[in-house]
Amino acid sequence: MMPSARRLASWCWSHWYAVAALAAVLATLDCDLQWVPADWALFEAHGDALLHGSFDRVFDDPVVQTGPLALALVAVLGSAVRVLHLPAAPSEVAAMTAISAGCCVTVVRRVLAPTSADDTARGAGLLLATAYAVGVGAVGMDLAHPTHALIGLLWLLTALEARAGRGTRAGLLLGLATAFDSWALMGVGLLLLAQGRDRLRAAAACLAVTALSWGPEVASGSFHMGEFDWDARRGSLPALLLGLGTPVPWSYRLAQGGLAIAAGAGLALLLRRSPHAVWVAPAAVVAVRVALDPLQAAYYSDPAVYLLVAGVAALAIARDRRVLLAALALLLPGWLDAVTGSLVQWLPSTAVLVGLGVALRAPGPLPLSLPARGVRRSSSPAAARASASPR
């Protein structure tokens, strides 16, 4: 790497917020700045009801399918736009994109931070991973749903805290994620990265925060979220099995969630001794959720993209040949989607993630290339050079 490029990469690592800002600007320019989805007005109205303490009006319409904290966030952003007399559509698009970009960069940075590489290598990984996410459209407005990017980040933080033995903090983070959206509970299997009583503390903390955020609305007697049905869209698994437009009830959502939880819990247990568990397990949860979803909204997969680009960068920096499996898990859905037009193709990616989980059980990096003939493997680079020197 040229000296100027090395300095730029190192600068990007220490000034990660500038990378996030640039990603947000580029992603915003790629959006239609005059269009705001209908969900924004819906969420803002019900968020205002929440902020004013009218809990019986927050989920009185079954169409509202997001969490209390997401509704409050959209309502606060909408109020800020009006108070500051900002142009509504561009400001709302920019706000959503900034949240998405910030979450993406933070995910990559938290995955790369524990690696033994220097700031130059980590900065290059951060820059390239973020550029890929922006390039494939994984950083964007997400139809006024800020929850997808935020939950991906919160799941990663949950896994990091659980693995570090801070069960209560892990549970609080997962509970915060469920306050943004009910499907965040699919990440409950990540708490298995904790040990012993830390798992119980984590579960108790998650339950407490979830009850605090959802309890008032449920207790109001006007909670109708469970009455909503989704029409199976073209390319979705329900459409393939039951027919296009078939109503998909909440019972299907519960089964979908159960399978996603099983995927995350299984990989969390399989990789509980590996530092890579913190991104592989939550990525598998997202992959299963997207593959089985009746709507097949493209932005549903954004958290998996953030986690996988971070994992690819971490393995590439370590020159670990298992990076090929991680890259396949990242790229395979896009390739197959281009051919079939269906995000059900995240199912093969899930299989690749399981294979990656098995491969990552081996301690330490697996070198991309074998040592030269006559050179013994050594834990010390100096010893390896000495063994290769002429006698």
For residue 5, being part of any structural domain is answered with: no
Please check whether residue 9 lies inside any domain of the structure: no
Give pLDDT tens digits for 344-379. 778 899 999 999 999 999 888 888 764 444 444 444
- Say if 88 falls within a structural domain: yes
Tens digits of residue pLDDT in 57-89: 999 999 999 999 999 999 999 999 999 999 988
The predicted structure's pLDDT at residue 342: 67
Split into its structural domains, the chain has a count of: 1
Predicted TM-score (pTM) of this structure: 0.91
Per-residue tokens: 209? 């925060």
Residue 387 in domain: no
Q: Is residue 131 part of a domain?
A: yes
Share of the chain above pLDDT 90, in %: 75
Residue 380 in any domain: the answer is: no
* Residue-level pLDDT at 200: 97
Residue 381 lies in a domain: no
Residue 280 has pLDDT above 70, yes or no: yes
Please check the confidence at residue 35 and state whether its pLDDT lies above 90: no
Mean pLDDT, the chain, integer = 90
d(CA 144, CA 133): 18
Report yes or no on 169 lying in a domain: yes
Print the domain residue range for 329: 15-359
